Amino acid sequence: MLIMVGLGNPGAQYAGNRHNIGFMAVDEIARTGGFSPWSKKFHGEIAEGSIAGRKVILLKPLTFMNDSGRSVQAAAAFYKIPPADIVVFHDELDLPPGKVRVKTGGGHGGHNGLRSIDAHLGKEYRRVRLGIGHPGSKERVNPHVLGDFAKVDRDWLEPMLETVARNAPSLVAGEDAVFMNKVTLATGGSEEPAGAKGGAGKAKGESHVRQARPTETHAATGPMAGMLRRLLGGGDPN
Residues making up the annotated binding site are 14, 64, 66, 112
Residues making up the annotated binding site for tRNA are 14, 64, 66, 112
List the 54-61 sheet strands across, edge first.
39-41, 44-51, 54-61, 2-6, 86-92, 126-131, 100-104
148 vs 1, 31, 183, 189, CA distance in Å? Answer: 33, 22, 23, 24
Q: How many CB atoms lie within 10 A of CB 67?
A: 19
Q: Which of left, alpha, beta for 53 (phi over 0: left; psi -120 to 50: alpha)?
A: left
The residues that are catalytic are 19
